Amino acid sequence: MAVDLLGYVFAALIATGGIIGFLKAGSVMSLIGGLVFGVLSAIGSFQVSKNPKNIWFSFVTYGTLAVLMAVRFLSSWKIMPTGLITGASLFMVLRLVLGFLWPRNKNS
Neighbours of 68 (CB within 10 A): 16
pLDDT at site 91: 97
pLDDT at site 106: 62
String of DSSP letters for 20-64: HHHHHH--HHHHHHHHHHHHHHHHHHHHHHH-TT--HHHHHHHHH
pLDDT at site 50: 94
0.85 cut: is pTM over it? Answer: yes
pLDDT at site 1: 59
What are the pLDDT digits (tens) for 40-69? 999 999 999 999 889 999 999 999 999 999
pLDDT at site 104: 74
pLDDT at site 55: 93
pLDDT at site 107: 57
Intervals of the chain under pLDDT 50:
108
